[in-house]
């Protein structure tokens, strides 16, 4: 047998369960890369990152940014120097729903819980439930859903329609996120080149390194997709995370991959799920 036939399946983990938005994004990733195994589920985003860093899983799937809220704490982890490297990206529409106990109506709701997807629904919540208390659950949306089921009907949840079907919640309102779309990164503890990679992620420190990185793009056939920054503790000095794409839309060249040396924190392909 070849060496590849002896290679163990790579383990993938994410937040909550298959019923969460992270679970849906992870399933889309596994559909695209069937050689990956799992997924395993963890109660918090911190637990997912820790499992990658200590080797319990090979890839952790975490939200990278959304169309309504821009970049997330995942970018902040990379900017802070955590040994997390982007190996794949999947973009998935949210389709958030407002869920309640069976029989609950919109007028009954005084409290709305959920996880990060609450941020996608601020307009709906401000317009339709302006007096309700809105809080992000410390764990995940499935834990929040169980609290809604145990409540008195005045609590609701921002979550997936799948969690409503599985746990027996009512869907009070559908598509309450104003068409929000989320990006998720598959993160490993070491740099790797994803098959068909057409994007790079580069971390630089300070304006001079940023200038040097930007000056290299055109000769390499690269363009900026996004630039995110984080403070360094010095006034007017930032760390930057650059996500770069090929101008042609084709795969990266070896020259482009090698150009950024130790500043490289991701070589990945990106795709959009329905």
pLDDT of residue 35: 87
The CATH class that applies to domain 97-173 reads alpha beta
Pairing mode, strands 170-173 and 97-100: antiparallel
The pLDDT-based confidence of 27 (bands split at 50, 70, 90) is: very high
Q: What is the mean pLDDT of residues 218-240?
A: 96
Q: Is residue 71's pLDDT more than 90?
A: no
pLDDT digits (tens, 9 = 90+) for 109-137: 999 999 888 999 999 999 999 999 999 98
Of the given ranges (2-6, 43-47, 145-149, 151-155), which has the lowest mean pLDDT? 2-6
CB contact burial 57-82 (16+ within 10 A = b; e otherwise) = bbbbbbbbbbbbeebbebbebbbeeb
Region 136-150: mean pLDDT is 90
For residues 79-102, average pLDDT = 96
Does the domain at 3-93+181-272 match CATH 3.30.70.1090? Answer given as no
Q: List the alpha helices (DSSP H) in the chain.
A: 3-6, 21-32, 45-53, 73-79, 122-128, 141-150, 161-167, 206-215, 217-220, 254-258
Average pLDDT, the chain: 93
Where do the domains of the chain lie? 3-93+181-272, 97-173
**pLDDT at residue number 8:** 61
Query: What six digits make up the tokens of 116?
Result: 């990060």
């Amino acid at each position: 047998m070849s060496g590849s036939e002896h290679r163990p399946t790579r383990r993938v983990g994410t937040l909550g369960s298959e019923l969460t938005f992270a679970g849906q994004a992870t399933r889309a990733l596994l559909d695209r890369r069937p050689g990956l195994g799992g997924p395993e589920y963890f109660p918090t985003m911190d637990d997912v990152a820790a499992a990658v860093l200590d080797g319990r899983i090979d890839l952790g799937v975490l939200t990278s940014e959304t169309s309504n809220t821009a970049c997330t704490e995942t970018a902040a982890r990379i900017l802070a120097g955590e040994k997390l490297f982007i190996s794949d990206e999947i973009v998935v529409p949210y389709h958030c729903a407002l869920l309640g106990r069976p029989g609950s109506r919109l007028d009954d709701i005084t409290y709305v819980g959920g996880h990060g997807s609450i941020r996608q629904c601020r307009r709906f919540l401000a317009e339709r439930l302006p007096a309700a208390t809105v809080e992000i659950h410390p764990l995940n949306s499935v834990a929040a859903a169980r609290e809604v089921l145990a409540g008195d009907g005045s609590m609701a949840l921002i979550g997936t329609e799948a969690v409503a079907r599985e746990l027996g919640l009512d869907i009070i309102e559908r598509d309450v996120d104003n068409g929000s779309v989320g990006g998720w990164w598959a993160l490993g503890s070491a740099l790797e080149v994803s098959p068909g990679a057409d994007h790079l992620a580069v971390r630089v420190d300070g304006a001079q390194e940023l200038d040097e990185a930007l000056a290299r793009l055109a000769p390499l056939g690269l363009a900026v997709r996004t630039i995110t920054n984080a403070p360094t503790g010095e006034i007017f000095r930032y760390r930057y995370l650059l996500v770069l794409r090929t101008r042609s839309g084709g795969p990266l060249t070896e020259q482009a991959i090698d150009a950024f040396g130790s500043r490289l924190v991701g070589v990945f392909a990106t795709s959009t799920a329905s």
